[in-house]
Structure 1
Amino acid sequence: MVDAHRTFVIVGGGLAGAKAAETLRAERFTGRVILICDERDHPYERPALSKGFLTGDGDRGSLFVHEPAWYARAHIELHLGQPAVRLDRAAKAVILGDGTRIHYDRLLLATGAEPRRLDIPGTDLAGVHHLRRLAHAERLRGVLATLGRENGQLVIAGAGWIGLEVAAAARGYGAEVTVVEPEPTPLHGVLGPEIGALFTEIHRDHGVRFHFGARLTEIVGQDGLVLAARTSDGEEHPAHDVLAAIGAAPRTALAEAAGLETADPRHGGGVVVDAALRTSDPDIFAAGDVAAADHPMLDTRLRVEHWANALNGGPAAARAMLGQDVSYDRVPYFFSDQYDVGMEYSGYAPPGSYDEVICRGDVGKREFIAFWTRDGRVLAGMNVNVWEVTGSIQRLIRSGARPDPAVEFTRGRQDQR
């Protein structure tokens, strides 16, 4: 039985928003819960969009956080296909695109992120793609299958996680793939050059061509179709399709227009929240990709775009909205699957923050664990084709100790996937 004495509104229909709604009910909140989503699909999980769903190994139904009927059973009011266009903080209201005003007592912003766009000539051509939403993945899956049948050429701008996972999927279909990346290795800003070089080898072994040290400057077309992609060093790559995989930007427009504090875009941007995921307005919270959180353990402000942050951040924000004592200090975690290589990464060790990378296992066979360390302390760890060790890696990171990972590392039983 739902009463109307309090109304909690969630803006954003991704994993963070759906898990927050679920948690409110699990914590026996009896007020109204309203979930606003600008997509027409029910909330779904995004990792498979560049992995199993894109390769054809997963079906559409497996993506959804809950079956559609669950929301009615849980008395979650859904507004699908309805964007929130404005926040009226004085009146504590969310205004939708059709003019509907929805009152809130507490509000959660889980608006996520959106793909960064290529600011070059030719991006209006039919064969230029982004990957963020289910509709993007459905379209791209068909494109990759066609490229594979016709020995077509795909150029990918960006060698981050999305770019590499799509490259792996495209090669699985048989498409020819060229990846253009301004840094000297893939994932340079995440894993650094040492492990980034490994991903170069993995993809080259599967026939992917890399063009490092350059950016796309123009997409050339004819009759609305892509013909080639030109780079900043004067080269031209034949292409039938181009994927822009140059990162994502947090969707902060609502927060900014409402006067909430946001982080400097040069440092990742996002809506500034404290350790309880509360914004500069005590009745508004933020979670998932859009939240730039004060991380108690890492002692830094951090915006994390990965699945685990949405999975855990949404529930944490929901509990904070209920007045519970929350300190969101999860160790950052993400995973990736490319060809026959699966990996999990825990921690935070951007280039410049560590002084050594220690590998234990067989790097040649791609069965190993890498540790990023500073003064002997483990900042991050990545297990490659080695499983059930995430818990142990995260305990090393949390301990703040200076162990020898070769001696003191033990296998655990936790796998977050």
Structure 2
Amino acid sequence: MIGADPHIVIVGAGQAGLQAAETLRSEAFEGRITLLGAEPHPPYQRPPLSKAWLTDHLDPEQLTLRDLSVLERKQIDLCTGTSVSAIDVKSQSVLLHDGRALTYSGLVLATGATPRQLPQAQGAGDLVCTLRSRADADVIARRLRNCAQGELPLVVVGGGFIGLEVAASARKLGIAVTILEAASRLLERVLSQDLSDWYARLHADRGTTLIFDARIAEIRKTSDHAAEVRLADGTCIVAGLVVVGIGVTPNDELARNAGIACETGIVVDACGRTSVPNIVAAGDCTVRRLSDGSMLRLESVQNAVEQGRSAASALLGAEKPSLGAPWFWSDQYEMKLQIAGLSRGADTHVLRGDMESHSFSIFHFSESCLVAVDSINAARDHMIARDLIGRRISPTAQQAGDTTFNLAKLRTVLA
């Protein structure tokens, strides 16, 4: 599939791009591999950026995914601080920001996503931050230390995972926190009402102020270099820092300009193939077209890794679709949420365990079939759920809610 003089170029040196490069080598690809990263750092983990990185509980070496020596040994040519300005599909080349061009026989697009900005915050300058990169996290960590020293509060706009994780990190540093959520509850798109309410109590019990149905009119910088957040109802909140976590936009502009099919992301199949031969895509920049014609976007480390693996295999002519049950996690305070499957469309929700014990799971069913499980400090439930959902084995709602019933037995009884 990749022809003579093989050279695979990977645009994006995050989790998906790195996985694609390493998969190519593990599947005996002997041609050149060039991994292009716009940031100055080698590939690193993003999940800790909203947690341990902000509280200085992580060494820089722990953030790095692969040492440069490992990439050199695998003959993966990493080019940091290098961005791509255009793709020429006809000549099979990418134009770099410095004017150079690289020809490719295969191309992987792992361009990630960009945080959405808040238009009402244009007058606040650098007192308003978003979190995506290590550089973003470094700025936020520094400003959080200033907030702690000056006893200035933090305002978080958005009650999603990023916002809640940053809020928890700030509270650990002793900073007063207010969360502004436009919806009527936290994590409305991904969690059931009961679990949303549980998270609201968790954060409120730790001293965070939660404001729902919040409408921001303006955020501006005051004369004493603080940020004033004014809501539509007239409420004003003064803060030393505002962190905005209102979602991301897939980085599909390169692909779109090159004529590659895009629809709220680069459209791929289960193997990461795009609409153009010899070009695949993986990670947060993609949207997957399902067999029923619907579109699915997943933003997680697991999805980036699995798509990176599948996309690399597809370039080598192998059919290794990414079809496993999606999973995700979030750490807030000492609570670990682990999600297996997708709960959208579920019509029945069953609690397993006691929510007050801070160790429980919520099982989601659609037409009596298990589709997702949300687990809090219940790693065993999570691992079993991933296996059951992936193999389409479903307990009954009664079995799921009965803590004396051994769910693991289903894997052998019904296999």
Which residue in the other structure is 2:55 paired with? 55
Residues 380/140 of structure 1: CA separation in 2 closer, same or farther (3 Å cut): same
Aligned-partner residue type, residue 178 of structure 1: T
- CA 295–23 in structure 1, closer or farther in 2 if over 3 Å, else same: same
CA contact (8 A) 2:123 2:221 kept: no
Deviations 1:7-40 (A, max 9, x none): 1110001011011111111111000001111111
Hey, what does 1:369 align to over in structure 2?
361
Work out the CA distance in 1 between the residues paired with 2:189 and 2:80: 36
Amino acid at match of 1:371: F
CA distance in 1, matches of 2:211, 2:410: 39
The offset of 1:356, in angstroms, is 2.2
Q: Closer, same or farther in 2 for the Cα pair 1:412/1:311, shift >3 Å?
A: farther
Structure 1, unaligned runs of 5 or more? 264-268
TM-score computed with the length of structure 2 as normaliser:
0.93
Partner of 2:125: 125
| 2:274 aligned partner | 279
**Which range is displaced more, 111-120 or 398-407?**
398-407
Comparing 146-155 with 356-365, which one deviates more in the overlay?
146-155
Q: Secondary structure at the match of 2:362?
A: strand
Distance 1:219 1:72 in 2: 47
Greater shift in the superposed pair: 146-155 or 92-101: 146-155
Query: What fraction of aligned residue pairs are identical, expressed as a percent?
Result: 35
SS in 2 for 1:189: coil
User: C-alpha displacement at 1:121, in angstroms?
Assistant: 4.3
Query: Which residue of 2 is the match for residue 266 of structure 1?
Result: none
Checking the alignment, whether the CA contact within 8 Å between 2:127 and 2:221 is kept in structure 1 is: no
* Residue in structure 1 matched with residue 249 of structure 2 by the alignment: 249
Preserved CA contact (<8 Å) 1:158 1:180: yes
Q: State the SS of the aligned residue for 1:228.
A: strand
Over aligned residues, Cα RMSD in angstroms?
2.0
Give the aligned partner of residue 410 of structure 1.
Answer: 408
Cα distance change of structure 1 residues 412 and 202 upon mapping to structure 2, 3 Å threshold: farther
Q: How many residues align?
A: 403
Task: Report the Cα distance in structure 2 between the residues aligned to 1:337 and 1:251, rounded to whole angstroms.
Answer: 26
Structure 1 residues 50 and 341: alpha-carbon distance in aligned structure 2, compared to 1, 3 A threshold: same
Shift of residue 217, structure 1, vs aligned partner: 2.2
- Residue 114 of structure 1 corresponds to 114
Distance 1:137 1:4 in 2: 43
Q: Do the aligned partners of 1:388 and 1:411 also contact (CA within 8 Å) in 2?
A: no
* TM-aligned CA distance change 1:235 to 1:332, over 3 Å: same
What does the per-residue CA deviation read over 1:261-305, in whole Å, with 9 as the maximum and x for residues that have no partner?
111xxxxx1100011110000211010111111346x97421111
Q: Answer yes or no: is 1:308 the counterpart of 2:302.
A: yes
CA contact (8 A) 2:364 2:373 kept: yes
Q: Is residue 46 of structure 1 aligned with residue 46 of structure 2?
A: yes
Q: CA deviation at 1:334?
A: 0.7
Give the equivalent residue in structure 2 for 1:381: 373
Segments of structure 2 that go 5 or more residues without pairing to the other structure are 401-406
- TM-score (normalizing by structure 1): 0.92
Alpha-carbon distance in 2 for matches of 1:406, 1:45: 39
Aligned with residue 396 of structure 1, among 378, 388, 393 = 388
Structure 1 residue 223, shift from structure 2 partner: 4.4
Deviation at 1:64, TM superposition (A): 1.3
Give the AA of the match of 2:265: G
Corresponding residue number in structure 2 for 1:260: 260
- The answer to whether the 8 Å contact 2:154/2:239 transfers is yes
SS at match of 2:125: coil
1:342 maps onto 2:340 in alignment: no
* Stretches of 4+ aligned residues off by more than 6 angstroms: none
Match of 1:293 in 2: 288
Distance 2:156 2:234 in 1: 17
Which one-letter code corresponds to 1:212 in the other structure? F
Q: Distance in 1 between matches of 2:154 and 2:297?
A: 31
Closer, same or farther in 2 for the Cα pair 1:76/1:123, shift >3 Å? farther
